[in-house]
Chain A
Amino acid sequence: MQNPLSEPDPSSKLPYIVKKRLHNALTGIGEASRLIAETIIQIFKPPWQFDLLLKQLLLIGYNSLSVVLVSGFFTGMVLGVQGYIQLKPYAVEGSVAQFVSVSVVTELGPMITAFVLSGRIGASITAELSTMKVTEQIDALEVMGTNPVKYLVVPRFLACSLMLPTLTIFSTFAGIFGGYVAVVTLFDFNGDFFILQVQDHMVIRYVIISLIKATTFGMAIASVGCYKGFSISSAGGAEGVGTATTGSAVTSLISILVLDFVLGATLK
């Protein structure tokens, strides 16, 4: 028979665990906010190192373009197929182009692009910065009189904030094209009518909402990636890098979903 004294009652630990997690979460939010504030201050302080920004723009933009296009295209195809099937029983399948284009522009374009980049770029930023922290490279930067936030965070933050909306434009076009291909080839939908419907129902407000969302998601991905990379302990080692990278991907995804809801509600 098990001795009741040998195993502490797990329920007695619960308040402690909840308190500790809450404390860690609030500390994390505070530290991340401070990092974002310092990043914004450093953006406006000379000297500006455009070579570092260009490198990040290429790394984030050019290298992610193909995966964003493919993701956008297939998302559009799925929307086209599902939209057509769901609308047909009500005899309004003619609105499928409106359904696809408005959904892709306002929601799925920025979301899919942000999801792809949070996994690809956000995690890679965290892995790179946390490895630099563990191997004392960030300490080395500081000793050499270089501000790590300015040198490492600012180019990544700006590049993500600029490339997310740019890639979202590509993703959105790919999505609408995907929807077009799906309904035209699978359901013999009139292609000219599809294009006409997209033109008729697309308003500039949707595009602005899409770009605001994409820019905000870009800032969030870079901030979470950099914060998770910087917050690792120097003694964290390989395990710490792995944990930080996983945490970064998960936190980015959740942040994107929360921000999407907040922006969706406020930019109605």
Chain B
Amino acid sequence: MQKIEAVIQPSKLDAVKDALVEIGVNGMTILEARGHGRQKGHTEVYRGREYSVDLLPKVKLELVVADEQVDEVVQAILTAARTGTIGDGKIFISKIDEAIRIRNDERGEIAL
């Protein structure tokens, strides 16, 4: 099992969700987030006072999938979330030791 975390542009959320559902991903968690990478921020001016806004609104997807599904999921996200401009986001992948379904105590991949 592996966890895929993807930080994407909020405007690409629907496209990514549709792409994931199409390849049979059953569940995901979505968080509204703020952050920046190389994109940095921008400057806003209110009555002459400048504020640099370096944390921009992003959406973070979290999903845990079976090992053999990882490549397919990553490809789906890459295709759907890419605009080609700076600020498109990143994908992080990590190993997951255990998954437990709270309802009936199922463990492992069957709980996903």
- Whether both chains belong to one complex is answered with no
Residues of B within 8 A of A (CB): none
